[in-house]
């Protein structure tokens, strides 16, 4: 286990260090390349943040705050800006204390998102994680649309050692949800994980289908703690904001799973989503194995993005 653990941390660090190499390189050249804090300096900073997929809106907000603080605190040197900048993003990305309560309660986790972001994989990993904590887990395979989605989920469920309630390809996903809720009640399940079919957020009919599933969960399982997670691909650009906004109309989103963070993408869009919609990132996906889903730690995330000192200490991340 400890070997696997190291493997995981190594990969997380690898992933984030690539992130870091890109952003930090930029940040460094900005902080050291300028001798005074002027417009050109801010412009350069803006470029760096936008390159990190933070988006124009979030970038402007962050820079406005920075400008204000620089003025208030009378900061002169660009290097002093670094701490201000990381602190301000950290603060923004902070996950609330009750964020993971659902893991300990009887709860329903509703996982939604566009196609190909890694919903099924995330559900599989979540199942494994919760099962390892000794929770009784059941998965509802409500992706009845994509060819062989059920098989993919069953494979994950086997690995995690949990049961799956499914339906035939092409059947109404809401009926799967309904059956799964009843099964969850009958079997005294602690956590019911609902995997749904990927859908683009601008497809009205498919979004209505999602609303229906949400209604059924509300109606049939009112006592359960609801956790509604939207899965966002870490490589996605500004469209992830629109996605989060649209999925938030379907259900009351309580968190984000940010996937594919083991690549070179910077995942900065998470900052943008948090800034504009106030939905916290709760988990990040950093690989394809069961253990590669990690609770999100704002300090760690931002430190990893900006601070080279933290590089050696990636292993400090707590195992869930």
Partner 1 sequence: MAFESLTDKLQNVFKNLRSKGRLTQDDVRAALKEVRMALLEADVNFRVVKQFVKSVEERAIGQDVMNGLNPGQMVIKIVNEEMTALMGSETTEIALQPGKALTVILLCGLQGAGKTTAAAKLAGKFQQKGKKVLLAACDVYRPAAIEQLQRNGEKQGTEVFSMGTGHKPVNIARAAVEHAGKNGCNILILDTAGRLHIDEEMMAELSEIKENVTVHQTLLVVDAMTGQDAVNVAREFDEKVGVDGVILSKMDGDTRGGAALSIKAVTGKPILYVSVGEKLSDLEQFYPDRMASRILGMGDVLTLIDKVSANLDIDADREKEMAAKMKKGKFDFDDYLESMKQMRNMGGLSGILGMFPGRAVPGMGDLESMVDEKQLARTEAIVLSMTPQERRNPKLLNPSRKHRIARGAGVDISTVNRFIKQFEQSQKMMKQLPGMLGSKGGRKGKFRFPF
Q: Applying CB under 8 A, which residues contact partner 1?
A: 18, 47, 50-53, 55-57, 114-118, 145-152, 154-156, 169, 200-205, 233, 235-242, 245, 260, 262-266, 269, 288
Shortest CB 120 distance to partner 1, Å: 9
Between 69 and 238, CB nearer to partner 1:
238
Neighbouring C-beta atoms of residue 56, cutoff 10 Å = 12
Nearest approach in angstroms of CB 178 to partner 1 is 22
Cβ neighbours for 97, distance < 8 A, ≥ 6 positions apart: none
C-beta atoms surrounding 6 within 10 Å: 11
Which among 318, 108, 142 is positioned nearest to 226, based on CA atoms? 108
Which CB atom, from 91 or from 155, has the smaller least distance to partner 1?
155
Judged by beta carbon, residue 147 or residue 186, the one nearer partner 1 is 147
Q: What φ, ψ does residue 30 adopt, rounded to 5°? A: -70, -45
Q: How far is the CB of 259 from partner 1 (least distance, A)?
A: 8
Alpha-carbon span 135 to 71, nearest angstrom: 51
Q: Fill in the DSSP letter of residue 95.
A: P
CB closer to partner 1 out of 193 and 265? 265
Taking the complex as a whole, how short is the minimal distance between the CB of residue 153 and partner 1, in angstroms?
Answer: 8
Least distance (Å) from partner 1 to the CB of residue 216? 19
| Largest interatomic CA distance in the chain | 68
Alpha helices in 115-230 (DSSP H): 119-132, 149-160, 173-186, 204-220
Nearer to partner 1 (CB atom), residue 171 or residue 202: 202
Q: Which of 53, 110, 105, 85 is nearest to 254 (CA)?
A: 110
Q: For partner 1, give the closer residue by CB, 23 or 181.
A: 23
Q: How far is the CB of 29 from partner 1 (least distance, A)?
A: 14
């Amino acid at each position: 286990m400890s070997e696997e653990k190291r493997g995981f941390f190594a990969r997380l660090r690898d992933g984030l260090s690539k992130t870091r190499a890109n952003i930090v390189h930029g940040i460094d050249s900005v902080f050291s390349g300028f001798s005074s804090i002027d417009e050109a300096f801010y412009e350069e900073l803006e470029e760096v943040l936008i390159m990190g997929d933070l988006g124009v809106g979030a970038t402007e907000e962050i820079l406005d705050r920075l400008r204000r603080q620089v003025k208030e605190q009378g900061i002169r040197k660009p290097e002093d800006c670094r701490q201000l900048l990381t602190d301000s993003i950290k603060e923004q990305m902070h996950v609330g204390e009750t964020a993971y309560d659902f893991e300990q309660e009887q709860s329903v986790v509703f996982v939604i998102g566009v196609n190909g972001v890694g919903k099924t994989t995330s559900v599989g990993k979540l199942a494994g994680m919760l099962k390892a904590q000794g929770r009784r887990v059941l998965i509802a395979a409500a992706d009845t649309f994509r060819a062989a989605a059920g098989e993919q989920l069953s494979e994950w469920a086997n690995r995690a050692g949990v049961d799956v309630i499914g339906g035939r390809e092409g059947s109404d996903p809401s009926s799967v949800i309904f059956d799964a809720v009843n099964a969850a009640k009958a079997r005294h399940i602690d956590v019911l994980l609902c995997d749904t079919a990927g859908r683009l957020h601008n497809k009205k009919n498919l979004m209505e289908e999602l609303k229906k599933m949400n209604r059924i969960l509300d109606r049939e399982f009112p006592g359960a703690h609801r956790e509604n997670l939207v899965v966002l691909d870490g490589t996605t650009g500004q469209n992830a904001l629109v996605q989060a906004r649209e999925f938030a109309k379907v259900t009351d989103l309580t968190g984000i799973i940010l996937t594919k963070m083991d690549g070179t993408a910077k995942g900065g869009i998470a900052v943008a989503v948090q800034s504009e919609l106030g939905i916290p990132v709760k988990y990040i996906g950093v690989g394809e194995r069961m253990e590669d889903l990690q609770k999100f730690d704002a300090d760690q995330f931002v430190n990893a993005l900006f601070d080279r000192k933290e590089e050696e200490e990636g292993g400090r991340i707590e195992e869930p």
